[in-house]
Structure 1
Amino acid sequence: MKHFYLLFIFIYLSGYAQILSQDSLKQEFLHTKAHQYETFFETLDARLTQLPMKEALSIVRILQNAGNSDNPEKLQHYITQSLFRIHYQQKNYLLADSLLQKDLIHTKKYHLISEHAETLLNLGMVYNTLYKYSEATQYMQQAYHQFSSQNKKARAATALYELGNLCLKMPERDCEEYFQKALALGGDSLKRVYHISSLNTLGLIQSGNKRYSQSLSYYQKALDLAAATHDSAWMGIVRGNIGFVLLQTGREDEALAYLLEDMESGLQHNELLSAAAAAVSISKIYRDKNQPDLAKKYLLQGIELTQKVGFLPVLKPMYKELASIYEQEKQYTEAIKYLHLQIQLNDSLAKKRREIDVIKMQSSFDLQKKENEVKNLTEENARQKHLTVIVITGLTLCLLLVILTLRIRQKIKINQLLIRQKTDLENEVTNRTHTLLEYNHQLKEFSFMTAHNLRRPVAMILGLGQVLRLPDNKPDEERLYIEKLIDTTNELDLVLKQMNGLLEKKQDSVIDN
């Protein structure tokens, strides 16, 4: 029970420490500026490679949602790159490729030129792993040209170094130029491991071309650089390569010293394949020296180390060599044993090659399928954009048509209103004209009445008044004149009434209008 509680406390404290660690990482990230992203994520990626995939992805998601918005476009690139490295390490190559393809579009859209070049270089590495050497070469060459255009010599040299390693996988290619240019371009700014590796690879190329003096020169430079940086692992590897060259040139005693150092270094740094290769070469030297026991000892050690690594193709010549040694010693049972192992290994390797061919074919199929999906999505996106443009254009035209129709209707209404107003004005003018004509007629009647009807009784009254003034008028005549005067006055009254009637009629007509 006590142990159970201790275990529980340990698990609890471990989880608490992890929470504190993630929280401190989050706080550190929130204070990281855009120009510090590269350094921050380089350190982070080195830590993530030591964690389980689930925990590593959790940390990246926490940072993605942390709220650092100093430069969200650039941040998205580095987040995607971290996710890519996690999946690439877990050999999820298709998912890694998908992430990089999206990042390629993202970095191009936001003109992140350096980041775009890094994505191209990583895509080259993915396609190299998928045995798509032609595509890998294209991506790496694009990365190299973009780095060069920005005068990023160290990164351009790194791209050349990766191109050189890719070139070595393709037959009948001259790969030396890539490493020469990488060294010349990168200089001291090239990463130490790339610098040493480039010199070592140039030594291998020269050795393969049987230019041993030049090969030893490159190896010596690589050894000096590894020694200056206290890189004992690389020192062991380069010493082993020097030993192989010395062995080729017949300097077996010198070669033996270098190969023994290489084997010791390989065992020390867990570089088992390098140690195994050194052991096989040491075995050959001892066999040439007619020391079969030591030859068998180192060859068996080489076989054991190779089996641990699982690099089976190298075992074939080892089994054959060991069988030959036993045959020379007349130990036929052991010789037959290792010949049988060689035959079994041949069958196993043939099966493995078929499996690899199937994997390559499946990878090619999956990649082609993914590319087709991306192509279809791109085409669908283009169609959607085209359809959106058509719909927007159609809606705009409809809106313009509606506006134009409303304006035409409004204009028609205004025209109809103007026509009605014009008609009303014409009718009013006609009515006024008719009224004026009637007034003119009445005026003529009034003038006539004034000139004739009124004038005659007035003249009559004036005449009778003159007659009545005469002194010799008789009474009967005066009476007659007075009656006549009364009649004329009545006639005048009648005329005045008629004139008054005309004036009243005119006044009523004016009021009505």
Structure 2
Amino acid sequence: MARTLIFLVSLLTTIHGAVAQQQRIDSLLKALPKAEAGKLHVDALNRLAFAYTPVSVTEAERLTKESIQEAREYNYESGIADAYRTLGVIYYVRGEYHLGAQYSYEALNLYEKLKDKTGQAKVLNNLALIYLEEKDFEKVKMFSEQSLALKRMAGDSAGVANSYLALAEYHLNQKNFDRAMSLCESARTLYDRAHDWRGSYASFQMGEIFHAQQNYTAALEKYQSALTDSQRTHDYVATIMISKKLGQLFLETQQLDSAYSKLNYAKNLAREKVSRHNEMQIDQLLADYFTGIGRVDSALYYTKTAMAIEREIFNHQKSEQIAMLQMLYNFEKNDRELEFQKKIVRRQYVAIIGVSLILLLTTIFGVKFYKLNKNNLQAKETLIKLNEDIHKMNENLEAMVQERTEKIKFQNQKLIEFTFFTAHEVRGPVARILGLIELSKLDEIQADEKIQILKRLEEAGLELDEVIRQINRKMEKGQLKA
């Protein structure tokens, strides 16, 4: 009984009664159409679905599945994780613990992947409560302690109080009543410090501990206090659970009229709120009640009704499992198709990059080739011009050689003429001078003859001088002739 209430403590962290909850839902309904498509819209759907969970699990489920579908379209893993966590809560409240655990594990895996410690802490606490129903107490202890450690790290005092209640339920099932009561008292202290309305849930669990110890007076006091709070806040899930527990207590204490009153009230509320799992359990208690007063036919009727609801729940769970498998199959199919499309896009992207690189390289090589070709043309033009200059130089050189040759020939001719002229024109005066000198050496020559010789030497010298002058003049004018 306390397990579902503990679960609601974790669920309704910011809700202070049905009026506040309805205001929250109304506010979220108005905000939903304004949320931008994509992640913001998914978050808005998840918040609205979570708000509906204590009011209408059917509407909560519809919104959550819509959120999952949209989150998958945008590959929004955080949105999917939040939606799975809410589905875990929905199926827990319905009593479909297998589905609740399955979705909770899906959410936990995603939160771990995203390194979301807060999300992990919440899901771990939910799993602990689910395994309480499955009576797998080792997992209850493990998940509760893991959740508590994460909440302490985050400084979440309300979350720590919630985990204390989960651990208290574990110790209650282990019949460790002192430890369970200590944890409930610690949780109640944390709630009271924060002026948190959820202290009533700690009181209810204390009632369960007294009930298990058969301290009916103390248990009744705690149950009545918790029921008053749940009715005041219009918390129908808690009201059904507490009324059912009070009916069970009255049956055990043989207060049959009070037992029937509480059980009948709980059954009508469970039927009104479509809480089939609670309705089945209440029918089983009503069967015990009618057995106790000797009305076997009524006891048989409620036994059959309880069995029919149990079959209905089983069939519904089976249908939900099939639907879930189909949904997961569709999701996986869509994921495979999406992955296939991503592969195609990646291949196209690689092809585009390859073609782009080829075009880029072609452009680069084209520019390089153009520049090289341009340089080659310039070099060719330069070479042609250089060849022309060399050709001109060669032509000029030939002309210069020819001119030089002609000049040399001319000079040679001059030399020849000079030699010839020297041999003929110069040689004569020189020979006469030499002859006169030799003649002047003779002893027989008289003085007057010597004077004649000197006169002739003078004439020969003047003649030679004139010849030399003529040679110079002709050399200067280039008039030497053979």
Offset of residue 447 of structure 1: 5.7
Identity %: 11
Provide, for residues 333-352 of structure 1, a one-character-per-residue CA deviation record: whole Å limited to 9, x for no partner.
43343233224313322321
Offset of residue 261 of structure 1: 2.1
* Alignment RMSD: 4.1
Offset of residue 312 of structure 1: 1.0
Supply the AA of the counterpart residue of 2:161: I
Map of 2:54 onto structure 1 = none
SS of corresponding position for 1:50 = helix
**How far apart, in 2, do the equivalents of 1:79 and 1:347 lie?**
38
Q: 1:140 to 1:168 in 2, by over 3 A?
A: farther
SS of corresponding position for 2:214 = coil
Computing the radius of gyration over CA atoms, which structure comes out larger, 1 or 2?
2
- Please tell me whether residue 198 in structure 1 is matched to residue 198 in structure 2: no
Q: 2:202 aligns with which of 231, 238, 242?
A: 238
Map of 1:140 onto structure 2 = 111
Offset of residue 132 of structure 1: 3.9
Q: 1:83 to 1:350 in 2, by over 3 A?
A: closer
- Please tell me whether residue 291 in structure 1 is matched to residue 255 in structure 2: yes
8 Å CA contact 1:183–1:190 kept in 2: the answer is no
- Equivalent runs, 1:151-300 vs 2, <5 Å: 156=117, 159-169=120-130, 172=136, 174-180=139-145, 182-183=147-148, 186=151, 190-191=155-156, 193-232=158-197, 234-300=198-264
Q: 1:326 to 1:441 in 2, by over 3 A?
A: closer
**How far apart, in 1, do the equivalents of 2:218 and 2:118 lie?**
34
Q: 1:374 to 1:230 in 2, by over 3 A?
A: same
Provide, for residues 123-161 of structure 1, a one-character-per-residue CA deviation record: whole Å limited to 9, x for no partner.
773685783444422233355xx57xxxxxxxx466424
Map of 1:316 onto structure 2 = 280
Supply the AA of the counterpart residue of 1:56: A
8 Å CA contact 1:203–1:219 kept in 2: the answer is yes
Map of 1:329 onto structure 2 = 293
Supply the AA of the counterpart residue of 2:286: L
TM-score normalised to the size of structure 1? 0.61
8 Å CA contact 1:120–1:142 kept in 2: the answer is no
Provide, for residues 428-474 of structure 1, a one-character-per-residue CA deviation record: whole Å limited to 9, x for no partner.
233223323443454467568878999999xx9xxxxxxxxxxxxxx
Map of 1:483 onto structure 2 = none
Map of 1:125 onto structure 2 = 85
**How far apart, in 1, do the equivalents of 2:239 and 2:83 lie?**
33
Offset of residue 402 of structure 1: 0.7
Map of 2:359 onto structure 1 = 395
8 Å CA contact 2:85–2:104 kept in 1: the answer is no
**How far apart, in 2, do the equivalents of 1:127 and 1:275 lie?**
22
Structure 1's unaligned 5+ residue stretches are 1-45, 65-75, 105-117, 148-155, 461-498, 501-513
Q: 1:363 to 1:211 in 2, by over 3 A?
A: farther
Offset of residue 122 of structure 1: 3.8
Which segment drifts farther, 183-192 or 407-416?
183-192
Supply the AA of the counterpart residue of 1:341: T
TM-score normalised to the size of structure 2? 0.65
Supply the AA of the counterpart residue of 1:136: A
SS of corresponding position for 2:254 = coil
Q: 1:52 to 1:452 in 2, by over 3 A?
A: closer
SS of corresponding position for 1:51 = helix
Map of 1:59 onto structure 2 = 34
